[in-house]
Chain A
Amino acid sequence: MIDDLQMRTLLRRLRGELSPDERRRLDDRVAAEPELRAAAELLERSWNDLELPAGAAPPGFAAGVMAQISLAEPEAPPWARLAAAAALVGGIALGVGIGRLPPEEVLPEALAGSPAPSLAERYFDALAQLDTEVEE
């Protein structure tokens, strides 16, 4: 029985993974040692006897992939993910800040029955106010 190291070396020989010098030295040993030669021959036969069907792509395969792709959303590039994460963190921080405002700044709107303006609404209101002030 050949050991794992010998098996590994014979596989390297079979797969063409040896340098020319290594190959020559191993060939000399294989020629000189009947047990190693038998093992090499058997390994080569086992290897060559392995056969599996391949088969080409079925007709319409590429069209099917393209149809799937039309439904798929490309993943955002890393910078876009970072920007989204930063926006989320910023939004949370801002939300926490707003949460710390004195209750009277928020409560009267809620008590009045109208929904509190969102952060975006507040932002655009402030911009509008700024425009008005400039125009005036």
Chain B
Amino acid sequence: MSRSATRRGDSDWDLLARVAAGEQELFRILVERHQDRLIALCRRLLHDPEEARDAAQEVFVKAFRKAGRLEPRGQLYTWLYRVAVNHCLNRLRRRRLVRFLPLTRTAGEAEPDLELDPPDAAADPLAELEIRRRWQATREAIGGLPPSQRAVLILARWEGLSYREIAETMEITVKAVESRLVRAMRHLRRAQDESGWQVSRGDER
């Protein structure tokens, strides 16, 4: 099949097969198709835009290197998610292990991930302030979660994956997904209470 016959509607697996057959330049279509989701996922897991970009890049390079070996099963992005989550979890664990640093930044330290402009809030400074406050509070609360709970929460809350999809992505059981999510939400509730995040109108405890 010639390069000119490439359509943007070609399936991921078709493109990957052609990449494996030597049409390397077609990999760019796959990158452009999935880069935003993958970078957003890495960003939410790592809380660092530079590191997230590096991680996403490494995931794509890994996908390219494995192009000829991957079995076309399910969705390609599910595989990309799996690689990205594992990659980011390894980075988080290494960060903890090597640097002996907590997952949250210390007071006064730069928060590069919070420098983004919030969507749809540019015209309203108060709305922008509120979004930034929520970003900050969420980051602090999530920063205290073990990496595996953090990953489950992020896949469920922001990536919109079902329990089954999360289980497939993380290669764990649905029961383990639910268990981690329960523990994560209990932790977040405590963090929200302690920080006075929201005015509580009742408590499950």
Contacts and interface: CB of A to CB of B under 8 A. Distances in A.
In terms of DSSP, what is the predominant structure of the interface of chain B? helix
A53 interface: yes
A66 B67 contact: no
Contacts of A53: 43, 113-114, 116, 118, 135
Interface residues of A, number: 42
Contacts of A58: 39, 49, 53
A59 to B, nearest CB: 11
Interface residues of B, number: 60
B64 A72 contact: yes
Interface in A1-25: 1-2, 4, 7-8, 11-12, 15, 17
Contacts of A69: 24, 27, 60-61, 64
A56 B117 CA distance: 11
28 contacts: A8-B178, A8-B182, A15-B163, A38-B204, A41-B202, A42-B203, A42-B204, A43-B204, A46-B188, A46-B189, A49-B138, A49-B192, A50-B141, A52-B43, A52-B138, A54-B44, A54-B158, A55-B43, A56-B36, A56-B39, A62-B28, A62-B31, A66-B25, A69-B64, A72-B64, A74-B20, A74-B65, A75-B65
